[in-house]
Structure 1
C-alpha cells in the first residue's frame, strides 16, 4: 500500500485518524446437501419455470440417461440445479454461472454468453423479465442474487419463439423455490479475508451512521433547492441554502489503517401444508453481506498515436459494498396445476472513497519533487430492486395454459458525488484548491427510477393424432418507463476569482465550510448542461405474439418450428431538440431439430433471427460515472437496432447418468452491432466511453464439455461411497467487425444551433476492420476437479477458470487517428472449496471453507502502442479466504 501511504502522508486533505465501521455478522447462501446416491444415482428433479406452455412429454427418446430437463426442451440449454450451484461454493448466482460452458463473468456480476456483451443476453426470474438497477447495463448484475433463494438456473443458448426477441447470446432464467417438500429453517454466517484489503490501509469517509446497513440515515437527503436548480438549469447563489448541504461527513476522506473483514449472514425457511387436495407452500429468505475491497491502481490515458500520456495517476479506491436481500414466496399445487406468487427485494449499496495523485492535462512533470495534482472523490451508489410476480401453470388434459404477470421497480440514487482537485503550488509550497482553473470542487446528484410491467399468456394443445404434435401460441406485453436525472454543480466564487493562498490550502471540509462560503461569496454554478442533458425520461412498449409447433414426424426425430411477431416503440425524451423514437416491428423465425440417432446420443440443428435494441442509457446523452471502471460514459441518441442471424449444430452424448460429452459449433451474423467506443470530446477532456453502431459483424466458434464421475469404492472402506468428479468445458469464439467507408453516428454528437444532431464519421475510422467485438474472449476454459461422498455431504472441489484478452472499448479518435483498442486481461483464476456436513444434537450443520484467486491474478486493462503499453486500469486482486457455518433445522 505504498501509494496510499504517500498520498495520505503528503496531503493536507486527509484527517489523521479514522473510525472504522463494524457490521453485524453475515453469510454465504445455504446449500442443499445432495441426497444419498449409489454409483448410478437417481436423477435429480430440477425445478424450472420458463415462459411458454408445458413442453411435450411423450416424445419418443430411446436414451436411458438423457436428463429430463434436456429431453423436455428441444433447445440448447444448460441447467444448474441447487446441488450444482452449491458445489461451486459461490455465494451468488453470477459466480456459479461462470462455470457454465461459454459463459464469462465481467465486472460486478454481469454474465456474458459466448463472449457477447450484456446487451445480447437477458435475465428472467421465473420466466418474467427483470429490470436492471444499473443504468449502464440492460441485464441485472447477477451477483446480487444469493444462491439460497434459487432452485435452479437455466441458460438457453438457442432462440425459440416463446422468448422475447432480444436474444443474441442467450437467456438466463432463474427459478425460485416454490412449494418445499418439507419444512426447514436454515441459519448461517461466514467471515472472509482479502489479502489485499483486510487489515490493510484504505480510504474511507464518515457518511451517515447507518451506512454499515447500506441505507442512508438522512445525511445525504437532497434539498429541494438542489432539485429545483437542477431542473431549471439555475445556479445556487443563496449562501443560506449552501450551508445546509452536508459537508464534512460526505467530503472528508479519512484513512482506516485496518479495514475490517467481510461478513455475511443469511436465513431461509419454508414449509407446506395440505388443505384437502391442495398443497400450500411458503418459502422465505433474508440475508446481508458487508464486504470491503481496496484497489491500488495505475490509471493512465494516452491521447496521441505515439502513446504519449495525457494523464498518469496512482489511484486508491476503497469500496464498502452492502447487499441486503429478502424473498417471500407462496405456492399452491393441486393435481397438475401450480400457482406461485413470488416477491423479491434486493438493496445493493456501494460506498466509495477515492484518492489519486499524478499528472493530468497540462499539469505534467514533478514540481519540487511532488506530483502536480491530487484528486479525491467520495461516492454513494444505492441500487434497489423490488419484484412481484404471479405465475400460473395449468394443465387440462391435452391443453396446457401458462399465465405470467409481474411488476418490478428499480431505483438508483447517487447523492453527493463529490470531486476535488488540488494542485501543488511552488509559491505556497503546498497543495492548494483555489476554486478556479483546473482546481475546483464539484458535487453531483443523480437519481433513476424505472417501472416495468409485463404479462404473458401461452396455450398449447396436444393434437389427438398418432404422432406427438403440440401446437402453441402466446401473447406478450411489456411496458417500461424510466426517469433519470443528474444535476452537476461546481463551487466557484461569485466573481469567478481565485481564493487566496491561505484559504486555498484548507482541507476539503474547511474549504467548503459555512465560514468560507459566506466570507468569499461562494456559489454553486450549474454545469449540468455542459455534460449533456440534465434529465430524461424513457419508455419501451412491446407487443408480441407467436405460434409454434413441436412434433415428432418420424421416430427419434423431433422438431420445433415457430415464428414471433414483435413490435416495439422505444423513446428517449431529453428536451424538445433531444428526443429519439424507435418504432420497429420484426418477424422472428426459429427452428430446432433434434435427432436421437443412437441410444443416449442426440444431434441438434438450430437456426433463428433475433434482435438487440439500444438501451436507454446508450441512447440518452447524459454523462455518467461508472464506479467499477472509474470512467465516464455518455449516450448516443442516434443508435439503431441490431439484427442477428443465428445458427448452431450440437452433438450430445449422455453415456451414463449425470455424465456427458457435448460438442457444438455456432455462427452469428450481426447487422449494426452496438459497440462501446472511447472518445475525447476535446483534446484536454478525460477519456469517455460512448456508443456507436458498427456496420456489421460475424461471430463463430465451438464448445466442448465433459462431465465424468469415477467411483472409488475399490480403494478401501474409506472410499466405498466416494467418487471423483471431473467437469471440463472449453469455448472458442472468434468475431470480427466489418467496417468500410460507411457513415455512422459517432459518440460525440452534440447540440448545434439549439438542435441535437449527429456527427457522422467513416466506420473504418471508428472501428478497425476485422477487430473483435467488445467483450468477446477467444478462449474460455472452466475445470472442476473434486472428490465427493455419495452418501453424505462431503465435497472438496478445485475450480480453474481462464478467459483470454477481450476488448472493453474501441480506441478513441485523436488528431484524426484511431488509437488502439482497450483490452482487458482476465487471466487465470484458481479456487478451492471444501464443504462438510455433520450432525450435532440432532441438527444438521454445513461447514464451508473457500480459497479464492489462489493465483493472485491482477486486473489489467490496457492499450498497446508502438512505444509501449499504457494501463488504463491495473491493480492487484487479493486472495480471498472464507469460512462459513450454517445450520438446518
Structure 2
C-alpha cells in the first residue's frame, strides 16, 4: 500500500487506525519509524498515535498474521499533523491500494489518509487472491464470474472451470474422474447423497443464487475428507451483507422447440406447480403390507388405477424464475449482528425428441436390434430458501447459523415408439414419472482468535443435513400393434409397472480446528494446525413394485384407462400384485472419526512448505433385507478400516507475481453402501440388474501435482499445471460371463490418470505489453474495457481390468466419462462505469465413453458438444438491472455412437431469457 496524499496541518502527531480487509480493528499492530527508536501499538479499537518531528518519514506497520506494510515519504511539517489509516490483508496475501488523487483523499486539516480497497467475498479480486495464496492447487468461481456466465445452478457453472466437464447435466467430472473420485462440501461440511446406488451429489440441485463462491480443490490437504482423487467441490453459502440490501428478481425463459409448442402431459396433483406432488401420488390406504384378502386387494387395485394413465398434449408455457433477498448488519454492544434471507422459485419445461438405437454383433458386424423414437416432456420445479445469521466481535469472534432448504421436483411424460428384436410388431412404451429430491442443511459455526494466546485461532462446526428422494407411483405400460395397424394395451405379463421408491439419508458432522501462528524470526514463520472430525451417517431406502395381472375379455377396450376400471378389476379379472424383490430394501450407517496435524513453514514469503497427515477410522455397514418378512435374514456388507493419509505441498514464489507449486498426497476411495452387499438390485438410473461385492477393496490413490502461476494483477493470471494419479484396485462395474445382463462390482488391477491444464484470465490491455503486437492497430481499441478468459485441459486415462474384465470388450480402456480434452473461452466487455457488461462464452468437451461395450461390441461414446452462450446485463437506473441471456446458440446435436453408428441423438434447443432485478 502507498500513501494517497500528504498535506500540511497544525500538529506534529501521526495518528490513525489499523483494520483488516473487512474493516475490523487490528489490535497489537506495531507502527514504527525507520531510523528512530520510536514505535506504538494499536489498542483494541485499532487506533494508535505517534509524536513525530517535522520531515519525511518511512513508516512500517506489522501485525501477526498480516502482511507487513511500509509507507515511504510520509511528510509531516512543523506544527502539522497527519492521519495514516491502513487496511491490512492476511499474511502471504499482498495488500493492494490505489493511488488516489486529491479529490479522492480524505482531508481533515490537511491530514493524509491511506486506505486499501475493501475486498468483497466472491469478487474477481478475492478469487485471484485466494487462488494465489492457498497452499493447495485450487480453482475458484466467484459470484461475479458466475453472474457473468449466467449459470443458474452449480453443475452448469462448474463446466467453466479448468479440467471439469458436466455429465448428464448434473454430475461433474474433475480431471476426467467421475463421482466416485470427487466429493462435495457445503461451508466445509460433507452432505449426503439422494442417489440410492451411488455416493454422488447432483450439483444441479444447488442454485448459484445462494452461494458466494465455489472452490474446486485439486490437490489434497489433511483438513479435507480422505476420499479424494479428482477434487473436492467446496460450496460457500452467502453471508450477511455489511449494509441493508433488498432485491427482487423475475426472469422469463423461452426454449426453442418447447415454449408455445405442444408438449406431453398427464393428470397430476393440484400442488404440482409448487413442487409438491407426493400427496397426489402417495401409497393408497391398505397397501402396507400388501393385502392377501381378495376384497382388500380389489379395493387397493381400484385406488391405484384411479390415479390415471391417460396422456395428452397441451401448449407449454414459458419458464419463470423468481428471486427475493433481504439482509443487513448493525452494531449492538460491541457486536456486529447480521442476517440474510433469500428465496428462489423456478418453473421450467423441456420437450425433445430422441432417436434411440441399439446394436449387437453378428458375423463380426454390428446389427441393429432396436429402433425407437422417444418423445418426452419434462417439467422442473426448483425451490430454495437460505437463512444466515451472524454475530461478530472485532476480529476475535465470529459465530453464525446457516439454514438451507432445497427442493427439486421433476415431472416427466414419456413415450417410446418403435421396435426391437423381441417384438413382432411396433411397440409404444409409456412412462409417467415424478421424482422429488429435498435437501435440508442446518449448521452452526464459530471462528475465534485469542490475541493473548499468541493469536491462536479456533474454528468449530456442527452440521446436520438430511436428504430425501421420493419417486411415488411411477407408472409404466406398453401398447402393442395389432394386425390392423392399431395399438392397444398389451396383454403380456409385463405390460405395466407401478413403482414406489424412497430414500432418506441423514448426516451429522462435528469438527473443531485449531491454528497457531508462530514468528520464529523476521523472515521465518510457522503455522501449526490440528483438528478432529466426526461424521455419523444413516440411510434407509426401499423400492416397491406392483403389476396389474390377470385376464380380461377379448373384446375389452384398447386403452389402459378404459381397462383399469372397476368393470375389469375384480377377483378372476385384473388385480394388483406385488413383485418387489427380496433385495429392494436396505439400511446402512457409517461412523467416521478423523484427526489430522499439519504445519506450514514460510521463509521470507518466498518458500512455503505445507505438510500434514490425516488418520481416518471408518466403519460402515449395510443390511439388505426383505420388506415385511416376519423374520428377515439380512445380507450384510461391512468395512472397518483405518487409513493414514500423508500430504505435502511446496510453493516457491521465485519472482514478483510468479510462483511454482508441487504437491504429493495419498488418498483413498471406498465402496458405497450398496456396493458392499452381494444382494442383487435394479439400478434406478441405469435400469440394469446390479450386484455388489463384500470382497471389494478400497482404492488407494497417489496424487502428484505441479503448477506454475503468474499474476499480472489482482484480477489477471496465467497458469500451467501437470498432474498424475495412480490407482490401486479401482472399482469398476463389469458384466460377468454367464450372468446375462447382471452388472457386478469388481476391483480392477490398476488405473492411471494424467494431464495438463492451461488457464488465463485478464484484461485485453495486456496486449499493449507484447512487443510483436501492432500498437497502431490496437491503440484506438478500448482494451481496458475488454476481458478474456481461456482454459484448456488435455487428459489421458487408462484402466486395466485384468482378470475381472468379464465379458467387457476392452480389458484396457479410458475411464468411463473421461473427456480427452475440455476447453472454455470467454470474451467480454465492461463499460467504464461498470453499468453495461456483455460476455460471450464457449465450451467444448472431447469424445468420451458413455458405456463400456460387451461381447465384442464397441464402447458407446458421447461425441463432442460445442456450446455458445451470450449474457448481457445493464444497470439502467439506480435501482434497476436487466439481464438478457441467449444459451446454446449453435444448438448442435447431442450424439452418442457405437462403432460409428448412432445410438442416441437429440437437440436441447436454444434458450432465451429476459430478467429484471430491483435492488435497494
TM-score, normalised with respect to structure 1: 0.83
| Residues 166-185 of structure 1 aligned to structure 2 (within 5 Å) | 166-185=227-246
1:294 Cα deviation after fit: 1.5
Is structure 2 residue 724 aligned with structure 1 residue 667?
yes
The equivalent of 1:33 in structure 2 is none
| Residues 422-501 of structure 1 aligned to structure 2 (within 5 Å) | 422-426=479-483, 430-437=486-493, 440-466=495-521, 467-493=524-550, 498-501=551-554
| Residues 354-753 of structure 1 aligned to structure 2 (within 5 Å) | 354-364=414-424, 367=425, 371=426, 373-397=427-451, 398-426=455-483, 430-437=486-493, 440-466=495-521, 467-493=524-550, 498-503=551-556, 505-518=557-570, 520-529=572-581, 533-553=583-603, 556-575=606-625, 576=633, 578-619=635-676, 621=679, 623-624=681-682, 626=684, 631-632=687-688, 634-638=690-694, 639-677=696-734, 691-711=745-765, 723-740=785-802, 742=803
The answer to whether the 8 A contact 1:730-1:779 is kept is: yes
1:622 Cα deviation after fit: 5.8
Quote the Cα distance in structure 1 between the aligned partners of 2:212 and 2:417.
Answer: 47
The answer to whether the 8 A contact 2:129-2:714 is kept is: no
The answer to whether the 8 A contact 1:432-1:501 is kept is: no
The answer to whether the 8 A contact 1:678-1:810 is kept is: no
**Aligned match for 2:325, one of 268, 280, 288:** 268
Q: Secondary structure of 2:260's match?
A: coil
Quote the Cα distance in structure 1 between the aligned partners of 2:707 and 2:299.
Answer: 66
Task: Describe the superposition over 1:200-226 as per-residue Cα deviations: whole angstroms up to 9, x where unpaired.
Answer: 222111111111111026221213533
The answer to whether the 8 A contact 1:590-1:606 is kept is: yes
Is structure 2 residue 349 aligned with structure 1 residue 314?
no
Judging changes above 3 Å, is the alpha-carbon distance between structure 1 residues 294 and 634 closer, same or farther for their aligned structure 2 residues?
Answer: farther
The equivalent of 1:14 in structure 2 is none
The answer to whether the 8 A contact 1:192-1:263 is kept is: yes
**Aligned match for 1:862, one of 876, 891, 897:** 897
Larger displacement relative to structure 2 (688-697 or 821-830): 688-697
The equivalent of 2:844 in structure 1 is 802
Quote the Cα distance in structure 2 between the aligned partners of 1:521 and 1:407.
Answer: 50
Task: Describe the superposition over 1:299-352 as per-residue Cα deviations: whole angstroms up to 9, x where unpaired.
Answer: 223343643233321111211010011111101111222112100001100011
Q: Secondary structure of 1:528's match?
A: coil
The equivalent of 2:866 in structure 1 is 828
Judging changes above 3 Å, is the alpha-carbon distance between structure 1 residues 67 and 323 closer, same or farther for their aligned structure 2 residues?
Answer: closer
Larger displacement relative to structure 2 (558-567 or 615-624): 615-624
**Aligned match for 1:152, one of 184, 197, 213:** 213
Q: Secondary structure of 1:229's match?
A: coil
| Residues 54-203 of structure 1 aligned to structure 2 (within 5 Å) | 67-203=128-264
Judging changes above 3 Å, is the alpha-carbon distance between structure 1 residues 874 and 623 closer, same or farther for their aligned structure 2 residues?
Answer: farther
Quote the Cα distance in structure 2 between the aligned partners of 1:308 and 1:45.
Answer: 66
In the alignment of these two chains, the number of paired residues is 784
Task: Describe the superposition over 1:698-727 as per-residue Cα deviations: whole angstroms up to 9, x where unpaired.
Answer: 011000011120359999999879611110
Q: Secondary structure of 2:812's match?
A: coil
Quote the Cα distance in structure 2 between the aligned partners of 1:63 and 1:680.
Answer: 64
Is structure 2 residue 375 aligned with structure 1 residue 323?
no
Quote the Cα distance in structure 2 between the aligned partners of 1:127 and 1:284.
Answer: 21
| Residues 280-359 of structure 1 aligned to structure 2 (within 5 Å) | 280-304=337-361, 306-336=365-395, 337-359=397-419
Quote the Cα distance in structure 1 between the aligned partners of 2:812 and 2:749.
Answer: 12
Q: Secondary structure of 1:238's match?
A: helix
The equivalent of 1:255 in structure 2 is 313
Judging changes above 3 Å, is the alpha-carbon distance between structure 1 residues 57 and 771 closer, same or farther for their aligned structure 2 residues?
Answer: farther
1:869 Cα deviation after fit: 1.3
Q: Secondary structure of 1:86's match?
A: helix
Q: Secondary structure of 2:299's match?
A: helix
The equivalent of 1:773 in structure 2 is 815
The equivalent of 2:827 in structure 1 is 785
Quote the Cα distance in structure 2 between the aligned partners of 1:45 and 1:374.
Answer: 64
1:651 Cα deviation after fit: 0.1
Quote the Cα distance in structure 2 between the aligned partners of 1:87 and 1:236.
Answer: 62
Quote the Cα distance in structure 1 between the aligned partners of 2:156 and 2:624.
Answer: 37
Judging changes above 3 Å, is the alpha-carbon distance between structure 1 residues 838 and 617 closer, same or farther for their aligned structure 2 residues?
Answer: farther
Is structure 2 residue 920 aligned with structure 1 residue 882?
no
Quote the Cα distance in structure 2 between the aligned partners of 1:235 and 1:469.
Answer: 75
The answer to whether the 8 A contact 2:197-2:683 is kept is: no
Q: Secondary structure of 1:216's match?
A: coil
Judging changes above 3 Å, is the alpha-carbon distance between structure 1 residues 565 and 250 closer, same or farther for their aligned structure 2 residues?
Answer: farther
The answer to whether the 8 A contact 1:434-1:499 is kept is: no
Task: Describe the superposition over 1:181-206 as per-residue Cα deviations: whole angstroms up to 9, x where unpaired.
Answer: 11111101111111122222221111
1:143 Cα deviation after fit: 2.0
1:875 Cα deviation after fit: 1.2
Quote the Cα distance in structure 2 between the aligned partners of 1:122 and 1:96.
Answer: 16
Quote the Cα distance in structure 2 between the aligned partners of 1:468 and 1:792.
Answer: 41
1:93 Cα deviation after fit: 2.2
Segments of structure 2 that go 5 or more residues without pairing to the other structure are 1-19, 24-63, 68-90, 97-124, 626-632, 769-775
**Aligned match for 2:287, one of 220, 226, 244:** 226
Task: Describe the superposition over 1:110-144 as per-residue Cα deviations: whole angstroms up to 9, x where unpaired.
Answer: 22211110121111111111112233542322222
1:763 Cα deviation after fit: 2.5
The answer to whether the 8 A contact 1:689-1:809 is kept is: no
Judging changes above 3 Å, is the alpha-carbon distance between structure 1 residues 376 and 187 closer, same or farther for their aligned structure 2 residues?
Answer: same
| Residues 844-859 of structure 1 aligned to structure 2 (within 5 Å) | 844-859=879-894
The answer to whether the 8 A contact 1:57-1:72 is kept is: no
The answer to whether the 8 A contact 1:62-1:599 is kept is: no
1:437 Cα deviation after fit: 4.1
1:861 Cα deviation after fit: 2.6
Q: Secondary structure of 1:766's match?
A: coil
1:250 Cα deviation after fit: 4.2
Q: Secondary structure of 1:502's match?
A: coil
Task: Describe the superposition over 1:527-569 as per-residue Cα deviations: whole angstroms up to 9, x where unpaired.
Answer: 222xx61210111211111110111256511110001011111
Quote the Cα distance in structure 2 between the aligned partners of 1:536 and 1:471.
Answer: 43
Quote the Cα distance in structure 1 between the aligned partners of 2:689 and 2:832.
Answer: 50
Quote the Cα distance in structure 2 between the aligned partners of 1:138 and 1:214.
Answer: 25
1:491 Cα deviation after fit: 1.0
Across the aligned residues of Structure 1 and Structure 2, the Cα RMSD in angstroms comes to 2.9
TM-score, normalised with respect to structure 2: 0.81
Judging changes above 3 Å, is the alpha-carbon distance between structure 1 residues 165 and 591 closer, same or farther for their aligned structure 2 residues?
Answer: same
Q: Relative contact order (alpha carbons < 8 A, sep ≥ 6): 1 or 2 greater? A: 1
The answer to whether the 8 A contact 1:675-1:810 is kept is: no
The answer to whether the 8 A contact 1:679-1:689 is kept is: yes
Quote the Cα distance in structure 1 between the aligned partners of 2:65 and 2:700.
Answer: 30
Judging changes above 3 Å, is the alpha-carbon distance between structure 1 residues 636 and 84 closer, same or farther for their aligned structure 2 residues?
Answer: same
Quote the Cα distance in structure 1 between the aligned partners of 2:471 and 2:889.
Answer: 34
Judging changes above 3 Å, is the alpha-carbon distance between structure 1 residues 409 and 63 closer, same or farther for their aligned structure 2 residues?
Answer: closer
Judging changes above 3 Å, is the alpha-carbon distance between structure 1 residues 199 and 689 closer, same or farther for their aligned structure 2 residues?
Answer: farther
Quote the Cα distance in structure 1 between the aligned partners of 2:209 and 2:736.
Answer: 42
**Aligned match for 1:245, one of 303, 309, 316:** 303
Quote the Cα distance in structure 2 between the aligned partners of 1:853 and 1:436.
Answer: 43
Quote the Cα distance in structure 2 between the aligned partners of 1:185 and 1:61.
Answer: 32
